[in-house]
Amino acid sequence: MTRLIRAGLLLLAVLTAGPTLARVKLVELGWDIPSTAFLRAHWQRMEREAPFDGVVFSAEAKDDQGRPISSEAAWGPERWQRAWFDAALADLKSCRFTRFTDNFVRLNASPKAVSWDDDAGWTAMAEKAAILAWLARGGGAKGIAFDVEPYGSNQWQWDSAAKTSFAETSATARRRGAQLGRAIAAEMPNAVVMTLFANSVLSHVGRSADPQALLAKEGYGLLPAFFDGLLSAAPPEMALVDGCENGYYLDSAEAYQRAALEMKGWQGPSLALVSPANRARYRQQVQAGFGFYLDMFINPEGHTYYRGPLDGSRLRRLTRNLTAARDAADEYVWVYGEQCRWWSDLAPWREADLAKTAGRGKHWEEALPGITRAIDRIRDLEGSALAELATSKPPNLLANPDLAQGPAADQTLPTGWSAWQYEKEPTGTFAWDKTVGDGSARATKVTWGCFLQGVEAQPGAVYLVEARCRRQGSGSPALTVRWQTAEHRWTREPDDRTFAFGAAVDGWQFARGVVTAPDGIGRLVVLLDIRGQRDDQSQVWFDAVRLHRLAD
């Protein structure tokens, strides 16, 4: 990796850091998009079976003449009435989501473009956006998933034959974006507006010396101005997400990190497309997200959208790439699929199209066995691991994990365990203590040291590690996992993981973590760490250590 990229990744870490780190959410979107009525009927099954944090849903209703209307065909000058969506709101209120915490109502920029100078048309669009924000707020959703792709006429391309210049049209587009932003904020000031893509689609333009000159020729040339206006109207508590649909094509951790840096960095091409007055606001309120296209992993070789196997497995490549997308995103990755379904009884209108595809409308788990567990682990590794342990009983890989076996002759340490302490300050002692629990590992007056035990490990395998400790006096214990080669040489130090011991219960503190073994390792080493013990009265006892390998 070049020095420039290393510096960029370090900058990205600084840019995206905040007072708290929200877990990245995986949100499902696909041809099997559910309506609010479907959510009402099936939300419990959907939460139970699908490996996501939420879904994008459509808002459907009927007008006074009984004609169907939908948020997927909202773009146009026709006006809506809020009362038409009362049933949709009741649908959402009937759901008691626990897993699907981050749902979004879909707003499509189709089927009709609205002339930028059509005041009545944009008043209607603002009303529609407000209705969807009202529906999202009342129904407990996070906000609006805004698909700006024009499936009908193109809203975003400047007409060179128009009477207004590109600069004048851009100013009007910025004003229309602000108009929609104010309408959304009035109903839901803390909304998340997740655009499936925004400035990221024009990164090639942002890298140029004169972006405005190139935007006039681009199919999405007016989108940055519209997004800039939307941002200018967003209250501080509103978040905008550039969902970077180009994430479909990324194929390495470095590629995702670079894309995130280009969306968020001060010198990045996305910020070059933002008005100078809005750049600080952009950095504060716009998140880097990614689209992830599942069909790439079932399409046949030679298809435009194809990702082949990694180490003989296409699922392994999916797992690597989706993990990279999660790690580069600020808060959201939207996971998109067309040829298969998560909800088997949806999308009957697509049957003819699906029959011609590689997926043929099958359930995703049938088309790509193991995908449900793979995505669930990426979504919430520890929660998924605990759920698996509750149903399967993998063996504890450690020798003497309960520390019940004392030392062999002429030894002081519990069987199976060794100890280390910083050689310049070897002030402490490590021993077995038969008086605590059924036996435990005790460290006294250790400035910096640990008990440790290693086992053979496989790259890519997932392991759960757990321990408990009891302490008195000074000192800070921790549970750490490190990596060695098969020849017992330390390696992959950036992939070390340390887990804190929590609050004491009946005198014992507990620590738990889940790790995925990185490439190039041959052994996993569990360290029961202790630092900062100042005197002979400072002691810590470790016990009940678990190390389980989860199913592949």
What pLDDT, on the 0 to 100 scale, is given for residue 18?
Answer: 38
pTM: 0.88
The answer on pLDDT for 299 being more than 60 is yes
Residue 390 pLDDT level (bands cut at 50, 70, 90): confident
Residue 1 pLDDT level (bands cut at 50, 70, 90): very low
DSSP 3-state assignment of 499?
strand
With beta carbons less than 8 A apart as the criterion, state whether 443 and 511 touch: no
The structure tokens 């630092």 sit at 531
Cβ count within 10 A of residue 10: 11
Integer angstrom CA distances of residue 228 from 215, 278, 388: 14, 7, 45
Closest CA to 240 of 208, 207, 274: 274
Strands (E), 426-522: 429-433, 440-444, 448-456, 462-472, 476-484, 490-491, 497-500, 509-516
Integer angstrom CA distances of residue 373 from 173, 322, 326, 528: 44, 13, 16, 30
Give the mean pLDDT of 153-165: 93
- Rounded Cα–Cα distance for residues 146 and 109 (Å): 8
Non-local (6+) Cβ contacts of 443 within 8 A are 419, 428, 429, 430, 449, 451, 475, 530, 533, 539, 540, 542
The structure tokens 């333009």 sit at 205
445: phi > 0 → left, psi -120 to 50 → alpha, else beta; which? left
The answer on pLDDT for 9 being more than 90 is no
Decide which of 261 and 345 is more confident: 261
What pLDDT, on the 0 to 100 scale, is given for residue 348?
Answer: 56
Per-residue DSSP letters for 165-207? -HHHHHHHHHHHHHHHHHHHHHH-TT-EEEES-SGGGGHHHHT
Residue 117 pLDDT level (bands cut at 50, 70, 90): very high
The answer on pLDDT for 402 being more than 50 is yes
| Tokens representing residue 404 in the block | 């019940």
Amino acid at 63: D
DSSP, res 84:
G
Which domains are present in the chain? 27-57+69-379 (3.20.20), 418-549 (2.60.120.260)
Q: Report the mean per-residue pLDDT for the chain.
A: 93
Give the mean pLDDT of 82-99: 98
What pLDDT, on the 0 to 100 scale, is given for residue 11?
Answer: 36
Tell me: the pLDDT tens digits for 350-364? 677 788 888 888 999
The answer on pLDDT for 349 being more than 70 is no
pLDDT over 90, % of the chain: 86
| b/e sequence 407-441, b meaning 16+ C-beta within 10 Å | eeeeeebbeebebebeeeeebbbbbbbeebbebbb
CA 57 to chain centre: 19
Residue 14 pLDDT level (bands cut at 50, 70, 90): very low
pLDDT over 70, % of the chain: 95
What pLDDT, on the 0 to 100 scale, is given for residue 2?
Answer: 42
Tell me: the pLDDT tens digits for 190-235? 999 999 999 999 999 999 999 989 999 999 999 999 999 999 999 9
Work out the angle between the directed axes of helices 371-379 and 314-328 (0-180°, nearest 10): 20
The answer on pLDDT for 84 being more than 70 is yes
> Which sign, positive or negative, has the C-alpha torsion 254, 258, 260, 266?
positive
Most confident of 14-23, 93-102, 401-410: 93-102
Residue 8 pLDDT level (bands cut at 50, 70, 90): very low
The answer on pLDDT for 552 being more than 90 is no
The CA dihedral of 197, 201, 207, 210, to the nearest 10 degrees, is: -100
- Rounded Cα–Cα distance for residues 322 and 8 (Å): 21
Give the mean pLDDT of 280-293: 97
Tell me: the pLDDT tens digits for 481-490? 999 999 999 9
